[in-house]
Chain A
Amino acid sequence: MTVDTRRSECEEIVRRLWPYIDGKLPESDRERVTRHLEECVACLSHFDFAKAFLEAVHEACPAEKEDEVLRARVLAALADEGFAG
């Protein structure tokens, strides 16, 4: 494989980065990307960077802790509406 075709294949793979990570690529495309990543460290590093970014975003926004005060307020408002649960 020449350097030029290699670069072109890498670009084709990287163009599919987000849909691949999000699990939205058609099966044939998905297999092509997986095979490429198994043998191309440079492309794999781009995908790992993107995944690390997504993990950081997910971890930066943890679920809200249980808020008893708010829960009580909501239940009180519901009770006014006849809620008896």
Chain B
Amino acid sequence: MAQTTDPSIPFAPNPATDRDRDFAAIALPLLPNIKRFALSLTRNEADADDIVQETFLRAYRYWGTFAAGTDCRRWLVTVCRNAFNDLVQRQAKSVAVEDDELESLATARAHNAAVAAGLGDMYSRLDLGPAIQKAIAQLDPNFRDVVVLSDVEGFSYEQIAEMLGVPLGTVRSRLFRARRQLQESLMVYALDAGFGRPQSVQRPSSMEKQT
């Protein structure tokens, strides 16, 4: 079959090859089986459809590695399982990044609340040393370890991950959460000690509602 060169048909399909014909005859009929399997993994129609699409894309790309005459359904199930695992990892990473970003935003909100309470310069104006030590001591041990190793001892995320035997993302999320908890504790301390403006006091519990 001659391939078209008509520029008005830029996406004219390529002629079917033996590879394509085999894929269409052997792999594609198994689509419903793979959909059922994908659904059992995701329990979610939209994710299952994504997984099925990814499975058949990968299967097509690596069709050359499929041994003709062997069980194609079994092969596709393996490809599908791998695609699902990759999706789960991607989603977990995406949620972690979002959480880390929200912790950064929380710091801006804490600053807004501090300014509103007349405490925008609290770290330079007040002697918070004892309050900081107390707040660190009251942190959950997992958070305390990370914030002390990072912000007191000056170790890098990578060094802390290795020392504690936890993933880098865990170090980051524990560190950011620990910092937020410390900031909230210090704000409460400053307000309770009477350093804020009484008429505009906003407790940290109301910080989350601010923009």
Please tell me if A54 contacts chain B, counting CB pairs below 8 Å. Answer: yes
Question: What is the CA–CA distance of A39 and B132 in the complex, to the nearest angstrom?
Answer: 32
In the complex, which of the residues B130, B152, B186 contacts A58, with contact meaning CB atoms closer than 8 Å?
Answer: B152
Bound Cα distance from A13 to B128, whole angstroms: 28
A59 interface contact, C-beta 8 A:
yes
B120 within 8 A of A: yes
- Give the chain A neighbours of B128 by CB distance below 8 A: 56, 60
Q: Is A45 an interface residue (CB 8 A)?
A: yes
Task: Determine the chain A residues whose CB is within 8 A of the CB of B8 once the complex forms.
Answer: none
Type the 1/0 row for B142-158, where 1 means its CB is closer than 8 Å to any CB of A: 00000110111000010
Partner of B176, one of A18, A58, A60: A18
CB 8 Å contact bits of B118-129 with A (1 = contact, 0 = none): 001001100011
Number of A-B contacts (CB under 8 A): 77
Interface centre among B100, B101, B136, B172, by most chain A C-beta atoms within 10 angstroms, is B101
Q: Does B89 lie at the interface of the complex (its beta carbon under 8 Å from any beta carbon of A)? A: no
Bitwise interface map of B from 95 to 117 toward A, beta carbon under 8 Å scored 1, else 0:
00000111111011011001000
Asked whether, in the complex, the Cβ of B104 is within 8 Å of the Cβ of A60, the reply is no
Mark B residues whose CB is within 8 Å of A.
100-105, 107-108, 110-111, 114, 120, 123-124, 128-130, 132-133, 136, 147-148, 150-152, 157, 172, 175-176, 179, 182-183, 186
- By a beta-carbon cutoff of 8 Å, the part of chain A in contact with chain B is 11, 14-19, 22, 24, 45-46, 49-50, 52-61
Residue of A nearest to B183 (CB): A53
Instruction: Say whether B105 contacts A15, CB under 8 Å.
Output: yes
- Contact among A18, A24, A46, A56 for B123, CB-based, below 8 A: A56
Known: A15-B104, A54-B151, A56-B128. Is A61-B111 also a contact (CB below 8 A)?
no
Q: How far is the CA of A48 from the CA of B129 in the complex (A)?
A: 19
Other 15 A-B pairs with CB < 8 A, given A18-B100, A19-B104 = A14-B104, A14-B108, A15-B105, A18-B104, A18-B179, A19-B100, A22-B150, A46-B108, A49-B111, A50-B111, A53-B182, A53-B183, A57-B147, A60-B130, A61-B148
15 CB contacts below 8 A, A to B, read A14-B105, A14-B108, A16-B101, A18-B179, A22-B150, A22-B157, A24-B157, A46-B107, A49-B114, A50-B107, A57-B151, A59-B129, A60-B136, A61-B132, A61-B148
Select from chain A the residue with minimum beta-carbon distance to B130: A60
> Known: A11-B105, A17-B108, A18-B107. Contact between A60 and B179, CB under 8 A?
no
Report if A46-B132 is in contact (Cβ < 8 Å); known contacts: A19-B100, A53-B179.
no
Contact of B182 among A16, A18, A57 (CB under 8 A): A57
Residues of B within 8 A of A15 (CB): 101-102, 104-105
